[in-house]
Structure 1
Amino acid sequence: MNQLNGSAAGANGSDYAKVQFDDLQDSGGKDGGEVNLDVILDVPVTLAMEVGRTRISIRNLLQLNQGSVVELDRAAGEPLDVFVNGTLVAHGEVVVINEKFGIRLTDVISPAERVRKLR
């Protein structure tokens, strides 16, 4: 068994020098208020719109076929929920542009409210 005397002994018995790290420095703006978001701007996220939800038994799920209607918990005309990576970030309404569906955001959830919902 190797003894440790101020240095770490490796598996083959060789000694490794101690490493000393410098204190972390704030590399932000002069007042510390600037944040460089460039490093995350190209990170892909999943954006999903939810029309509504429902709970059904597996028995009823297995009986669904083409033409079946499933009632959701939301009334017609209510705004859709917009999720980013599973977190509610906004509400919106469906629009059609050039024969494709889209969503017009009508209410964006504030960051403070999103953090409050995480607790």
Structure 2
Amino acid sequence: MNDETENPDISSDDAAAEDAWAAALAEQDEEENNAPQAEPAELDEFTDPVPHVPGEENLDVILDIPVTISMEIGRSKISIRNLLQLNQGSVVELDRLAGEPMDVLVNGTLIAHGEVVVVNEKFGIRLTDVISAQERIKKLK
């Protein structure tokens, strides 16, 4: 029996298209089965041309990566109700005393403390205490 007698809804054009697709898929399967198989490559063992000395890493790769530095005067937690009531002239109490050093953050990580200075009519910060790399790593863990 042909396809037309098995399914009267399929025309001879549709049956021809199905036959063409079946032939194309069979040809593709045959090509895939006869294709040469990939073999693992033999690679030379990687050796570092400059021996690695701990503490003397080459940082040139990361020196041009931009980071965000920010200074934080202080923080405060308030409810959403109080937040919605803030308007011009409102005062928000911070968790720091006047004269305490500000936090210097790089990408949100504390790296130093400092005091506010004015240089050429612009605010700046003079670093008074820099957090050591070991202490910053300890805080990450």
1:3 maps to none
User: Residue 40 of structure 1 is aligned with which of 54, 59, 62?
Assistant: 62
Q: How many correspondences in the alignment?
A: 107
Is contact 1:94–1:102 with CA below 8 Å preserved after alignment? yes
Q: Distance in 2 between matches of 1:37 and 1:21?
A: 28
Superposed displacement of residue 32, structure 1: 2.1
1:61 maps to 83
DSSP 3-state at the match of 1:92:
strand
What's the TM-score, normalizing by structure 1? 0.81
Structure 2 unaligned residues grouped into runs of 5+: 1-31
Say if 2:38 is the partner of 1:16.
yes
2:107 maps to 85
Which aligned segments of 4 or more residues in structure 1 are displaced greater than 6 angstroms?
A: none
Query: Deviations along 1:30-89, whole A, 9 cap, x unmatched?
Result: 562432211111110010111000100000001101111000000000000001111110
Q: Distance in 1 between matches of 2:109 and 2:44?
A: 37
One-letter amino acid of the counterpart of residue 69, structure 2: L
Is contact 1:51–1:74 with CA below 8 Å preserved after alignment? yes
In angstroms, what is the RMSD of aligned CA positions? 1.7
Q: Which has the higher helix share?
A: 2
One-letter amino acid of the counterpart of residue 100, structure 1: K
- Judging changes above 3 Å, is the alpha-carbon distance between structure 1 residues 71 and 39 closer, same or farther for their aligned structure 2 residues? same
One-letter amino acid of the counterpart of residue 89, structure 2: G
13-22 vs 59-68, which moves further: 13-22
Structure 1 unaligned residues grouped into runs of 5+: 1-11
Q: Distance in 2 between matches of 1:36 and 1:58?
A: 48
DSSP 3-state at the match of 1:18:
coil
Superposed displacement of residue 27, structure 1: 4.1
What's the TM-score, normalizing by structure 2? 0.69
